């Protein structure tokens, strides 16, 4: 029977959400094609995790262990997974499009000569022929690809797109494999995992966030949005370029590599809506976006949109609110 392999992702002994999202999509694909679904965990001393994974309705869980896999190691992952996948020859290998995923999947695919498409937001399979959809131009268009010559495929899948699988109550069998990794030959070495520091501002707790993007143009223009945030009583957030430029501290950054926020209202000012930003704010109750580009992808995740120059709208909005508040 053909097999779909889902590579689980874990950090510090906990699965990351994308693992369960991959499983649910794999199950959907298998419903029509009758594939066997195998979940793979890489790590060391991961018995408990393997048991946990076995509750999600997979056909098999394989726990690949090695001391070097205790922490994420790209070389270790590529060595361990390539020999495992060579043996299994799955029709499809699914990996999360996370930093780990984007770090090892391209190397693994090249090693195995599997075609890889990254950051997929949809997959469909008919007669063992895979089609995938991914975005380009930072979310402005979707592109559907087929693989004319391939019979085995590898994909990385964008997190937060698919609904996570639930525990089924049925337990699948768990197989433990000791990975063969020539440790002496490795050219990289894990030194340390640095955890996010407890910062003075925590925007993730705010009810309202006014978030500023590159559209603000210059550090000198920041007071325009700061005044708005102050008038509303909102926390000030930012997209990555604003932080990269040193205009606001990292603690303000919303998105994949910053904070995940779920305020009642998220007001995005001059933010295009790249997926790495959207990932951190799409759980907001109401999103209002101000952007001069009517095609900006931020409008795809907004409840209310204003297509305008932010410098025309924001100061007027601030004044209006100040008047109401009598300040």
Tell me which residues in 212-241 interact with ligand FAD (CB under 6 A). Answer: 213-215, 239-241
Tell me the two tokens of residue 49. Answer: 């995790």
Residues from 49 through 68 that contact ligand FAD (CB under 6 A): none
CA distance 232 to 228: 6
Closer Cβ to ligand FAD, 180 or 218, answer by number: 218
Does position 324 bind other proteins by CB under 8 A? Answer: yes
DSSP character string of 128-161: TEEEEEEEEGGGTEEEEEE-SS-SSEEEEE-TTS
Closer Cβ to other proteins, 52 or 111, answer by number: 111
Residues from 265 through 294 that contact ligand FAD (CB under 6 A): 270-272, 274, 276-277, 280, 290-293
DSSP character string of 59-93: SEEEEEE-GGGGS--HHHHHHHHHHHHHHH--SEE
Q: Which residues contact 310 (CB under 8 A, 6 or more apart)?
A: 215, 216, 224, 269, 270, 290, 291, 292
Does position 327 bind other proteins by CB under 8 A? Answer: no
Closer Cβ to other proteins, 50 or 267, answer by number: 267
Spatial CA neighbour of 153 closest among 78, 198, 206, 90? 90
Does position 111 bind ligand FAD by CB under 6 A? Answer: no
- Which one of 25-33, 87-95, 171-179, 260-268 is the stretch in contact with other proteins (CB under 8 A)? 260-268
Q: Are the CB atoms for 4 and 26 separated by under 8 Å?
A: yes
Closer Cβ to ligand FAD, 131 or 250, answer by number: 250
The residue within the footprint of ligand FAD, chosen from 18, 296, 301, 317 (CB under 6 A), is 296
Q: How far is the CB of 105 from ligand FAD (least distance, A)?
A: 14
Does position 256 bind ligand FAD by CB under 6 A? Answer: yes
Residues from 158 through 187 that contact other proteins (CB under 8 A): 187
Closer Cβ to ligand FAD, 134 or 240, answer by number: 240
Does position 310 bind ligand FAD by CB under 6 A? Answer: yes
Q: Which residues contact 39 (CB under 8 A, 6 or more apart)?
A: 5, 6, 8, 19, 23, 53, 54, 56, 58, 60, 61, 62
Contact footprint for ligand FAD (CB under 6 A):
213-215, 239-241, 253-258, 270-272, 274, 276-277, 280, 290-293, 296, 309-311
């Amino acid at each position: 029977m053909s097999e779909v392999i889902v590579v689980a992702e874990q950090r510090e002994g906990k699965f990351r959400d994308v693992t369960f999202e991959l499983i649910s999509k794999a199950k959907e694909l298998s419903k029509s094609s009758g594939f066997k679904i195998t979940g793979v965990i890489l790590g060391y001393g991961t018995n408990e995790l393997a048991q946990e994974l076995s509750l999600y309705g997979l056909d098999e869980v394989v726990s690949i262990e090695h001391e070097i896999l205790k922490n994420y190691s790209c070389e270790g992952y590529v060595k361990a997974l390539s020999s495992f996948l060579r043996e299994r020859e799955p029709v499809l290998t699914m990996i999360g499009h996370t930093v780990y995923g984007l770090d090892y999947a391209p190397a693994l695919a090249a090693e195995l000569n599997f075609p890889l498409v990254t950051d997929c937001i949809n997959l469909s399979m008919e007669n063992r022929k895979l089609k995938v959809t991914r975005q380009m131009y930072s979310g402005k268009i979707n592109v559907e690809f087929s693989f004319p010559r391939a019979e085995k495929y590898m994909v990385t899948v964008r997190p937060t797109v698919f609904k996570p699988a639930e525990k089924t109550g049925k337990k699948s069998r768990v197989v433990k494999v000791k990975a063969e990794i020539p440790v002496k030959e490795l050219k990289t070495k894990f030194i340390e995992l640095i955890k996010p520091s407890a910062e003075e501002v925590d925007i993730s707790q705010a009810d309202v966030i006014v978030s500023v993007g590159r559209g603000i143009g210059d550090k000198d223009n920041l007071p325009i949005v700061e005044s708005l945030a102050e008038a509303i009583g909102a926390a000030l957030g930012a997209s990555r370029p604003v932080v990269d430029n040193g205009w606001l501290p990292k603690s303000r950054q919303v998105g994949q590599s910053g904070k995940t926020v779920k305020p009642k209202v998220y007001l995005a000012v001059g933010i295009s809506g790249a997926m790495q930003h959207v990932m951190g704010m799409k759980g907001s109750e109401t999103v209002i976006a101000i952007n001069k580009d009517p095609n900006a992808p931020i409008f795809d995740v907004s409840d209310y949109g204003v297509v305008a120059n932010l410098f025309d709208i924001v100061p007027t909005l601030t004044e209006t609110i100040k008047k109401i508040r009598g300040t």
